[in-house]
A and B are shown apart, each in its own frame.
Chain A
Amino acid sequence: MLELKSITKHEHGQAHVEGVSLSLEPGKMHILLGPTLSGKTTLLRLMAGLDRPTSGEIIMDGQAVTGVPVRKRNVAMVYQQFVNYPSLSVYENIASPLRVRGAARRYIRKKVEGAADVLGIKEFFRRRPSELSGGQQQRVALARALVKEASLVLLDEPLANLDYKLREELRTELPRIFKGSGAVIVYATSEPREAMLIGDSVTCLHEGRIASTGTARALYDRPNTLVTAKIMSDPPLNTIRIEKKGAVLELGGDRRLHIGAHMETLADGPYEIGLRAHHLGISASASNGIEAVVATTEVTGSETMVHAEFMGTRWVSLLHGVHALNAGDKISLNPDADRLFVFDETGALVATPAS
């Protein structure tokens, strides 16, 4: 059990992490989710003991470890870059944390072979990291973290530098690899997709503060704030300020929408609405949606992403199949009103679509 109590980290007068309190149980995949510079890496470094927090307390299994240097803690960390000792063989790389500890030769052999089995890299024992592919190099780094039997395993965007296929492959394996170890596992990522797929619990970070905590599904279905909704949405959340008047939402100009069923009890007034890209339909111009102009389209084959602009706002629509649209085409955007998230002026969620 790792507990952070109102951790703050200032560097050169700037707050990198501000008042973060968390409690992380062993055997679960804890995701730190947030865009770059949201404080994920700083938080991981603090958890590892690489840096000291400016204020606050870190408690590991009931013991305060705030000032304890990293070498006296039992921590393993895997990075976005593939970090291995360049001049050592794969076997020696995996064995290195045990060698530092002065473990017996036979014990090391057993541990290294075990870890290599789990990660499927046994055949590369005699090679050097530079002779392996990126995915294999990262497997070596993961094996090194695994043999250490650390009580805290920190994974800092470990899949970000891998190509798509390898990422998918390792992503499904990661929970299996580390969950059995009984360690507290923290996984930092900027992709909500990864959080949804492997996270048991998710902590959304925004500008060094915790925006929300919960299961990935709960945060996805009911993001408590606009910030959380944005962090949990990929493609980016479509947002716009509106004025609710009875059963109508005024977007400005003469563009308006009819409210969804879940918004009937909402008082009239100014709000900000959020809509996920796959709930935004598109039809030919002059039908009764929001008039917009296509900025770009990205066709992936099974899906098409259409970026459209109206009144200086850019929205994204995610459609099935291939849609032939050119930049400059006039279209009509059809939001699914029953899918609108409504946030008040402070950014708090006030109306949630049924999930």
Chain B
Amino acid sequence: MQKTHDHKALWLVAPALLLVAFTAVIPLMTVVNYSVQDTFGNNQFFWVGAEWYREILRSDRFHAAFLRQIAFSATILAIEIPLGLAIALSMPKKGLGVSVCLVLMALPLLIPWNVVGTIWQIFARVDIGLLGHTLNGLGIDFNYTQNAGAAWATLIIMDVWHWTSLVVLLCYAGLVAIPPAYYQAARIDGASRWAVFRYIELPKMSRVLLIAVLLRFMDSFMIYTEPFVVTGGGPGNATTFLSVDLVKMAIGQFDLGPAAAMSVIYFLIVILVSWAFYTIMTREDFEPSGGAR
């Protein structure tokens, strides 16, 4: 076949390439550049190789922040996925109730992150917050500025409140896409409610569940605004997650090299764990892709 030499195609790709270059590749490479150099100011940099990476990977501070981050993501996934699934399953499938439920569910998703943080920061305050004041009135020692457990609880409840809706909406979309014939066939077979869930709904929803898990993992692993607004990483370092720590290091201490190295490691972890989730969840026992069957 004759190859056509026509450079028009290049022009069509160029805008996308430029956009990706400016938004992703160039900033990323700048970070990578910082992570292998040191500076004493005056815009003079010198090469230090993998020094910062070694320092970060060996630092207890990073390990602690990493574990906190993992614990946080694991907790909210363990709550939000089953809860979202349960809510989606109990939502009406037709009628006026559908729109009402969907709008109610979508509301938290429409609120900006820092506003969510502020809402909960005030809501959970001991002196004027409805939640904090009530709990303390009931004799429960709840103070997220002093008590690590209370700080964690506040952040987790806030995240569940904010993001379970996303899981619900995704699951609901997966659920309503199942042809009614499946439910009929199950009824004719005499299948139990559990069997319908286990053998029809769950396999048919595996794709959307995967997306829900991935989105929630990535988002929660990179959470910054809410802990920054509510607890500022405290009390002590109790809620200093990776991103909070990173910002402290980069902007608070202006340690550009280590912060850049940490960013790169952070980035790789998110990609790695997402890839692991994806691989595990698309294995054989999950049904590949939907479609009428």
Q: A71-B190, A100-B191, A101-B190 are in contact. Are A83 and B287 (CB under 8 A)?
A: no
Q: A81-B181, A83-B179, A128-B287 are in contact. Are A88 and B188 (CB under 8 A)?
A: no
Q: Do residues A130 and B287 form an inter-chain contact, with CB atoms below 8 A?
A: yes
Mark A113-143 against chain B: 1 for CB-CB distance below 8 A, else 0: 0000000000000001110000001000000
Q: Of B189, B190, B285, B292, which contacts A87 at CB under 8 A?
A: B285
Judged by a CB distance under 8 angstroms, whether A50 is at the interface is yes
A-B CB pair tally, cutoff 8 Å: 66
Judged by a CB distance under 8 angstroms, whether B185 is at the interface is yes
For A220, the chain B residues whose CB sits under 8 A away are none
Q: Of B185, B191, B286, B288, which contacts A83 at CB under 8 A?
A: B185
For A96, the chain B residues whose CB sits under 8 A away are 189, 191, 199
Interface residues on A, range: 20 to 34
For B195, the chain A residues whose CB sits under 8 A away are 100
- The residue in chain B whose Cβ has the minimal distance to the Cβ of A145 is B188
Interface residues on B, range: 20 to 34
Mark B20-40 against chain A: 1 for CB-CB distance below 8 A, else 0: 000000000000000000000
Judged by a CB distance under 8 angstroms, whether B182 is at the interface is yes
Judged by a CB distance under 8 angstroms, whether B203 is at the interface is yes
Residues in A47-89 with C-beta less than 8 Å from chain B: 48, 50, 70-71, 75-77, 79-88
Judged by a CB distance under 8 angstroms, whether A97 is at the interface is yes
Q: Do residues B287 and A86 form an inter-chain contact, with CB atoms below 8 A?
A: yes
Judged by a CB distance under 8 angstroms, whether B184 is at the interface is yes
For B184, the chain A residues whose CB sits under 8 A away are 45, 50, 77, 79
Q: A79-B181, A86-B200, A86-B287 are in contact. Are A50 and B293 (CB under 8 A)?
A: no
Q: Of B187, B189, B293, which contacts A82 at CB under 8 A?
A: B293
Mark A161-204 against chain B: 1 for CB-CB distance below 8 A, else 0: 10000000000000000000000000000000000000000000
CB distance from B214 to the nearest CB of A (A): 20
Q: A83-B181, A86-B200, A86-B203 are in contact. Are A130 and B187 (CB under 8 A)?
A: no
Most chain A CB neighbours (cut-off 10 Å) among B182, B189, B195, B202: B189
For A75, the chain B residues whose CB sits under 8 A away are 188
Q: Of A48, A80, A85, A161, which contacts B188 at CB under 8 A?
A: A48
For A50, the chain B residues whose CB sits under 8 A away are 184, 187-188
For A86, the chain B residues whose CB sits under 8 A away are 199-200, 203-204, 287, 293
Q: Do residues B187 and A79 form an inter-chain contact, with CB atoms below 8 A?
A: no
Main secondary structure of the interface of B (DSSP, over half): helix
Complex-state Cα separation, A45 to B187, whole angstroms? 11
Q: Of B185, B286, B287, B293, which contacts A77 at CB under 8 A?
A: B185
Q: Do residues B293 and A137 form an inter-chain contact, with CB atoms below 8 A?
A: yes
For B288, the chain A residues whose CB sits under 8 A away are 130
- The residue in chain A whose Cβ has the minimal distance to the Cβ of B288 is A130
Residues in B161-209 with C-beta less than 8 Å from chain A: 179, 181-182, 184-185, 187-191, 195, 199-200, 202-204
Complex-state Cα separation, A75 to B186, whole angstroms? 12
Q: A48-B188, A76-B188 are in contact. Are A129 and B293 (CB under 8 A)?
A: yes
For B191, the chain A residues whose CB sits under 8 A away are 96, 100
CB distance from B288 to the nearest CB of A (A): 6
Complex-state Cα separation, A130 to B288, whole angstroms? 8
Most chain B CB neighbours (cut-off 10 Å) among A45, A130, A144: A130
Q: A50-B187, A50-B188, A79-B185 are in contact. Are A87 and B293 (CB under 8 A)?
A: no
CB distance from A86 to the nearest CB of B (A): 4
CB distance from A126 to the nearest CB of B (A): 12
CB distance from B230 to the nearest CB of A (A): 41
Mark B274-288 against chain A: 1 for CB-CB distance below 8 A, else 0: 000000000001111
- The residue in chain B whose Cβ has the minimal distance to the Cβ of A75 is B188
Complex-state Cα separation, A84 to B181, whole angstroms? 10
CB distance from A30 to the nearest CB of B (A): 18
Complex-state Cα separation, A96 to B188, whole angstroms? 11
- The residue in chain B whose Cβ has the minimal distance to the Cβ of A100 is B190
CB distance from A68 to the nearest CB of B (A): 13
Complex-state Cα separation, A33 to B10, whole angstroms? 58
Most chain B CB neighbours (cut-off 10 Å) among A45, A75, A137: A75
Q: Do residues B190 and A97 form an inter-chain contact, with CB atoms below 8 A?
A: yes
For A161, the chain B residues whose CB sits under 8 A away are 292
For A85, the chain B residues whose CB sits under 8 A away are 199-200, 203
Q: A50-B187, A97-B189, A130-B287 are in contact. Are A87 and B179 (CB under 8 A)?
A: no
Q: A81-B293, A137-B293 are in contact. Are A87 and B185 (CB under 8 A)?
A: no
Which residues of A approach B to under 8 Å, CB–CB? Answer: 45, 48, 50, 70-71, 75-77, 79-88, 96-97, 100-101, 128-130, 137, 144, 161
User: What are 20 contact pairs spanning A and B, CB under 8 A?
Assistant: A45-B184, A50-B187, A70-B190, A75-B188, A77-B184, A81-B179, A81-B292, A81-B293, A83-B179, A83-B182, A86-B200, A86-B203, A87-B286, A96-B189, A96-B199, A100-B190, A129-B293, A130-B287, A130-B288, A130-B289
Q: A77-B188, A84-B293, A86-B200 are in contact. List 16 more A-B contacts (CB 8 A).
A: A50-B188, A70-B188, A71-B188, A77-B185, A79-B181, A82-B292, A82-B293, A83-B181, A86-B204, A87-B202, A87-B287, A96-B189, A96-B191, A97-B190, A129-B293, A161-B292
The 7 lowest CB-CB distance pairs between A and B, nearest first, are A87-B203, A71-B190, A86-B203, A86-B287, A79-B181, A85-B199, A83-B185
